[in-house]
Amino acid sequence: MTDNLRVMRIEEVIKRTGLGRSSVYKYTLNRTFPQQVQLGAGGAVGWLEHEVNGWVNEQIHKSRCAASRA
């Protein structure tokens, strides 16, 4: 684990990924997106920034590899 953990709320995840709200939750449920973290008993959730950034970088890599094969 890193000492520099930062939790992102859904609005920031949407901006960072370009996904819609329902897509974030769908991919989270399908386990094709980083899992959310419970932020208390009130139902608030967030995502770890480094995991979301890793997912974005993975999508870039997949996209560029697919483009180079075409």
CATH number of the domain that residue 52 is part of: 1.10.1660
The per-residue pLDDT string of the chain (70 residues; one tens digit each, 9 = 90 and over) reads 556 799 999 999 999 999 999 999 999 999 999 999 999 888 899 999 999 999 999 999 998 887 777 6
The answer to whether residue 26 is domain-embedded is yes
pTM, rounded to two decimals: 0.86
The answer to whether residue 36 is domain-embedded is yes
Domain of 23 in residue numbering reads as 7-69
**Considering its fold, how many domains does the chain have in total?**
1
Cβ neighbours for 27, distance < 8 A, ≥ 6 positions apart? 19, 33
User: What pLDDT score was predicted for residue 66?
Assistant: 77
Return d(Cα 28, Cα 59) in angstroms, integer: 15
Return d(Cα 32, Cα 24) in angstroms, integer: 10
Side-chain half-sphere exposure of 63, counting CA atoms within 13 A: 6
- Whose CA is closest to 13, among 4, 23, 2? 23
User: What pLDDT score was predicted for residue 1?
Assistant: 54
Q: What angle do CA 62, 32, 27 make, to 5 degrees?
A: 115
